[in-house]
Copies of this chain bind each other. A is one copy, B any other.
Amino acid sequence: MGGRDGPGSRPTMKDVALLAGVALKTVSRVVNEEPGVNPATAVRVREAIERLGYRRNEGARLLRSGRTASIGLVIEDVGDPFYSGLFRAVEDVARRHGSLVFAGSSGEDPVRERELVLAFCARRVDGLVVVPAGEDHAYLGPELAAGMGVVFADRPAGNLAADTVLVDNRGGARAGTAHLISYGHRRIAWLGDSPAIFTAAERLRGYRTALAEAGLPYDPCLVASGATTTEAARAALDRMSALADPPTAIFTGNGRATIAALRALGPRRYALAGFDDFEPADLLGVTVVAQDPVRLGHTAAGLLFARLAGDRDAPREIVLPTRLIPRGSAERPPA
């Protein structure tokens, strides 16, 4: 069928025009469904398009018209359930607006984040949703000035005024910790990510607030930052168990830490609550402080497309609530 063109060369409007015996511009009109084309001519053009397997070159089109109908999404890891939920939500909104989504994983590396963002910018995405890993986003200034939409999700940007959607990390961690305290626990361990990560730091702050509000001391011996692997969690728990005054409960700072802690706990019977809901947490009976990645993504993408639609208001900051879901693992007194 058709293709006598060598590989690599696709038919263009010119080819279609030639085959249909019309001018280039007429093909353009047909493709864009512009009015003012004789129906009979249009039919001939459409036949030629079909015959050649012509597909409009969006790149060339957008070179003229500015918008690319695509957005970029930078998250920590496209494979992580939390972020992939966010991605799904962003995709839904983008789709509703006729946009495609470039997505990339920063892996918590500010350099990689910047590379990704700039690669997206070079492709002239209309907007970006970024879960920032870095602390300085001044480099996005020119893009913002040029009319590109930028929304930060989950964590705030550094040195840049832009829309931001956050989660009430501090309040959630405080509520989770207070929940454990309400069952009589007075020695509560913390396992979570490094406080270099914004959300981890905020949650740790919430944990400390809850302790303070209950008149409990903050004991650094009970805090394991960076304990998000089974091995690290096991080491931390071993160390804490050996203390003169060991913990009776654990609060974990994110989903990975929760799973790591569960694996590491083994036979030990500690009360447990964790930040982040995860798929079969209900089956495991794990009490969690749930955040809603889908809502986070919807909100962020919503803000983005509002900007792209012309919203010129001052940058907004939206903070989404968390929800405590008791499932049993926390609802017992110290042994």
Contact = CB atoms under 8 A, between A and B. Distances in A.
B124 A59 contact: yes
Nearest to A83: B84
Contact of A84 (B78, B104, B142, B278): B78
A55 interface: yes
Interface in A80-99: 80-81, 84-85, 87-88, 91, 95
A299 B123 CA distance: 27
Interface string A240-273: 0000000000000000000100110000000000
Contact of A105 (B88, B143, B279): B88
A36 interface: no
Interface string A110-121: 000000101111
Contact of A146 (B8, B259, B279): B8
Given A56-B122, A60-B63, A103-B101, A7 B142 contact: no
Contact of A91 (B62, B66, B104, B259): B104
B79 A85 contact: yes
Interface in A125-166: 141-143, 145-147
Interface string A64-75: 001010100000
A100 interface: yes
A310 B147 contact: no
A70 B7 contact: no
B9 A147 contact: yes
A1 interface: yes
A33 interface: no
A102 B70 contact: yes
A182 interface: no
Contacts of A104: 91, 95, 100-101
A52 B145 CA distance: 11
A87 B79 contact: yes
Contact of A147 (B8, B59, B259, B282): B8
A15 interface: no
A8 B7 CA distance: 39
A78 B88 contact: yes
B282 A283 contact: no
Contacts of A91: 78, 103-105
B283 A262 contact: yes
A35 interface: no
A63 B66 contact: no
A284 interface: yes
Contact of A102 (B3, B78, B95, B100): B100
Contacts of A141: 1, 53
A119 B145 CA distance: 28
A165 B6 CA distance: 26
Nearest to A62: B59
Contacts of A280: 259, 262, 278, 280, 284
Contacts of A87: 78-79, 84, 103
Given A81-B84, A81-B279, A283-B284, 11 more contacts: A3-B142, A4-B66, A9-B147, A52-B142, A57-B63, A78-B91, A79-B84, A102-B102, A259-B279, A259-B283, A263-B283
